Amino acid sequence: MTFKYSFTFPINGPNKLPRFKRWAAEHAPEVEVSLPPQVPVKSTAMTIRLKSAEDRHKLLNKLADASL
């Protein structure tokens, strides 16, 4: 199965990828994601790839309360 769905969410500051990886491992370990190779420090959003629309919905709900 490939990563057909994308999900863009707001995230500020440096070290976006390590912070998201840590958060995902703690709060959404069942959701497989494909991360970009890098995200510029000045960027205010990050786009990840997901395998299903259900995974996107799960992350959307869980990220609503998160502070990344």
The number of angstroms, rounded, from the C-alpha of 25 to the middle of its chain's C-alpha atoms is 11
Q: In terms of Cα–Cα distance, which of 16, 15, 6 is closest to 53? A: 6
Poorest-pLDDT segment among 18-22, 47-51, 62-66: 62-66
* CA distances, 65 to each of 23, 36, 43, 51 (Å): 12, 23, 21, 22
User: What backbone phi and psi angles, to 5 degrees, belong to 49?
Assistant: -110, 140
Sheet containing 45-50, strands listed edge to edge, beginning at the edge strand earlier in sequence? 5-10, 45-50, 33-34
- pLDDT score recorded for residue 6: 95
Residue 57 pLDDT greater than 90, yes or no: yes
Hey, what are 3's tokens? 């990563």
- Which pLDDT band, with edges at 50, 70 and 90, does 67 fall under? confident
Mean pLDDT of 20-37: 95
